[in-house]
Amino acid sequence: MTASVIAAPPDSLEELLARSGQVAVEVSGAGQTAWNGQVVETVGEVLGLAHWDGTLYLDSECILDPLRQMYLHAGEEQPLPVLVQYRESLATLLHEHAHFLGPAGATQEAARGAFTRPGSRQLEEGVAEAWAQDHLNEYLTRLGVDKVAPGIEDARGGGYYAAFVPAVRILAADLESRGNLQPGEVLRALNQQTAEGQFPLLTTLVYNSTRLPDLEPSGTSTRDHLETILRQGFAHLDTYELAPTGLAAAQSRSTTTALLHHLSTEVHKAESHHTPTHELPLPPQFLPTPALLNTTHPTSHRLTFTPPAPPHSIHRSAPSPLQTALSGISPPAPTPTTPPPTHPAPTTRPRTAPKHLHR
Amino acid sequence: MEHSSHTPPHRTQPDHARLTFAEPAHAPLNVDPPNVAAPSRSTPAERQARTDWLVTELRRLAASTDNPHEQANLRRSADSLIRLATASRP
């Protein structure tokens, strides 16, 4: 008879931190974490930071002290604001650990270089935050926090990165819908990548959700073109990072709507190069799913990606210096203008097998 | 892979040498940040200066608000930009 050994849940902040990285790996299904096991307690400046050397920086007053209190009062009933404070601290912990996750063999050096490319920061923050929000309760349960702070699973606070999270969710849900994938599967797959692999994976998912893999020969520039469009769209989200949460989320949604339409247009153009006119699908294949995008379509006739203007109620005729500066941090790369090469149309095959997440 | 050992947290100010975050000169919020005229053509050094400026402004905004959620929101954005700034530095 084999006795299974189940470790007792952490009963102190130190134990919680010690296990926090491995549990994040388990919940995420990622191949590894780049966390080096070090935690630096900061005072007043950094709230939470996954540093490139693998060190985790966490703020004393806002993150670690509430968790000390949580273990000091383990098992006791707490008022909702206290539970929310605990939960926010743990949400930050999981979010930062998400930055460290990656496939086996991924390096921080490669991730670091990729993080500076247009759109990478916005995508990674949006993925880390959305995934952490969705899996926080599982994380808390595995760490035994639900017993230490009864009721914490229902003590929901507001999320962060409102400019980035809706975009990630809309794009992921759209890809899951058209690819017959399980809800949450795209977000999970993106979260298992470092910045090095996130945009290549996203581009592959977009490309594979079209008829292009069946129509095009290998080696065309279509995928690069789609990646450029995706990066431009995410880079633009910087503009809304300082806006109030509701406005930032609304602009994130409308920007993603425009982004999806731009992708649709470009995919349709690429498909038309390889398909006889009478076989072209109508309407274009890559349109946002109405159920996923419950907004009006502000850019239904645009052929180039033009982010939507903020609503008139904002009374901003020009971007603020902060918005201007944010939009310049990751300038988009120029969009390739070379059309996909023309060649004889191959035989069109029906889409049968579900698309896969493998790159 | 995760290290098997864990170093308990220790109270300290952030290690600026390791974070390699250089504090820029303070600029009021209502003036242009450095080199915003042509961000798409700006050099890495100019983008770096802009990021540094933004981090300073975000922290100052965070310090000036009484709303804890908004404060956390601003600080998180600042932290994200610090991560970008450190990624960009050689």
Q: Are A172 and A317 in the same domain?
A: yes
* Chain B residues inside the 8 Å CB shell of A51: 18-19, 83, 86
Q: Are strands B7-11 and A38-42 parallel, antiparallel or unpaired?
A: parallel
Type and span of the H or E element at A257? helix A245-272
**Shortest CA distance from A158: residue in chain B:** B69
- Residue B12 scores a pLDDT above 60: no
- Residue A85 scores a pLDDT above 70: yes
ipTM of the complex: 0.77
Question: What residues make up the domain containing A190?
Answer: 165-327
Q: Does residue A159 lie within any of the structural domains?
A: no
Place of tokens 């040498």: B17
CB contact under 8 A, A39 and B7: yes
Is B4 an 8 Å CB contact of chain A? yes
| Residue A213 to residues A201, A217, A349, Cα–Cα distance (Å) | 15, 8, 10
- A282 pLDDT tier (thresholds 50, 70, 90): low
Mean pLDDT, residues A83-106: 97
Comparing A11-15, A256-260, A333-337, B78-82, the range with the smallest average pLDDT is A333-337
Distance from C-alpha of A332 to C-alpha of B47, rounded to nearest angstrom: 13
Q: Does residue A33 lie within any of the structural domains?
A: yes
Mean pLDDT, residues A39-55: 95
CB contact under 8 A, A329 and B81: yes
* Cβ-contact A131, A62 below 8 angstroms: no
pLDDT in tens, A145-158: 999 999 999 998 88
Q: Are A197 and A311 in the same domain?
A: yes
Q: Are A97 and A134 in the same domain?
A: yes
pLDDT in tens, A300-335: 333 233 455 544 433 333 444 444 444 443 333 333
Q: Are A199 and A106 in the same domain?
A: no
pLDDT score for A342? 35
Q: Are A145 and A46 in the same domain?
A: yes
pLDDT score for A72? 98
- Residue A31 scores a pLDDT above 90: yes
Is B86 an 8 Å CB contact of chain A? yes
Q: Are A191 and A146 in the same domain?
A: no
pLDDT score for B45? 80
Is B42 an 8 Å CB contact of chain A? yes
Q: Are A87 and A228 in the same domain?
A: no
- Residue A216 scores a pLDDT above 60: yes
Distance from C-alpha of B54 to C-alpha of A328, rounded to nearest angstrom: 11
Q: Does residue A135 lie within any of the structural domains?
A: yes
Q: Which two tokens stand for residue A126?
A: 């949006």
Cross-chain CB nearest to A36 (options B3, B32, B84) = B3
pLDDT score for B13? 41
Mean pLDDT, residues A271-291: 59
* Chain A residues inside the 8 Å CB shell of B74: 242
Mean pLDDT, residues A45-64: 96
**Pick the residue with more confidence: A125 or A272?**
A125
Is A238 an 8 Å CB contact of chain B? no
Mean pLDDT, residues A49-54: 98
pLDDT in tens, A56-77: 999 999 999 999 999 999 999 9
Q: Are A86 and A46 in the same domain?
A: yes
- A289 pLDDT tier (thresholds 50, 70, 90): very low
Is B59 an 8 Å CB contact of chain A? yes
Q: Is B10 helix (H, G, I), strand (E, B) or coil?
A: strand
- A231 pLDDT tier (thresholds 50, 70, 90): very high
CA angle A295, A299, A303 (to 5 degrees): 145
Q: Does residue A141 lie within any of the structural domains?
A: yes
Instruction: Determine the distance in angstroms separating the CA of A23 from the nearest CA of chain B, rounded to an integer.
Output: 10
Task: Return residues 31-90 of A near B (CB < 8 Å).
Answer: 32-33, 35-43, 45-53, 55, 57-60, 62, 64, 88
- Residue A124 scores a pLDDT above 70: yes
pLDDT score for B48? 83
Q: Does residue A25 lie within any of the structural domains?
A: yes
- Residue A244 scores a pLDDT above 70: yes
**Pick the residue with more confidence: A121 or B30?**
A121
Distance from C-alpha of A309 to C-alpha of A25, rounded to nearest angstrom: 40
- A277 pLDDT tier (thresholds 50, 70, 90): low
* Chain A residues inside the 8 Å CB shell of B1: 32-33
Burial classification of residue A282, based on how many CB atoms lie within 10 Å of its CB (0-12 exposed, 13-18 middle, 19 or more buried)? exposed
- A278 pLDDT tier (thresholds 50, 70, 90): low
Give which of A214, A218, A201 is closest to A340, Cα–Cα. Answer: A218
State what percent of residues in chain A have pLDDT above 90.
68
Q: Does residue A7 lie within any of the structural domains?
A: no
Distance from C-alpha of B52 to C-alpha of A66, rounded to nearest angstrom: 30
Tell which of A160, A245, A252 to mutate to test the B interface (max B CBs under 10 Å): A160
Cross-chain CB nearest to A327 (options B5, B39, B87) = B39
Is B43 an 8 Å CB contact of chain A? no
Q: Does residue A255 lie within any of the structural domains?
A: yes
* Chain B residues inside the 8 Å CB shell of A126: none
pLDDT score for A286? 52
Q: Is A111 helix (H, G, I), strand (E, B) or coil?
A: helix
Cross-chain CB nearest to A329 (options B3, B6, B47) = B47
- A280 pLDDT tier (thresholds 50, 70, 90): low
Q: How many domains does chain A have?
A: 2
Q: Are A322 and A191 in the same domain?
A: yes
Give me chain B's average pLDDT, please.
67
CB contact under 8 A, B2 and A47: no
Q: Does residue A345 lie within any of the structural domains?
A: no
Mean pLDDT, residues A224-244: 93
CB contact under 8 A, B11 and A160: no
Is B49 an 8 Å CB contact of chain A? no
* Chain B residues inside the 8 Å CB shell of A41: 9-12
If one counts every other C-beta atom within 10 angstroms of the C-beta of residue A295, the result is 14
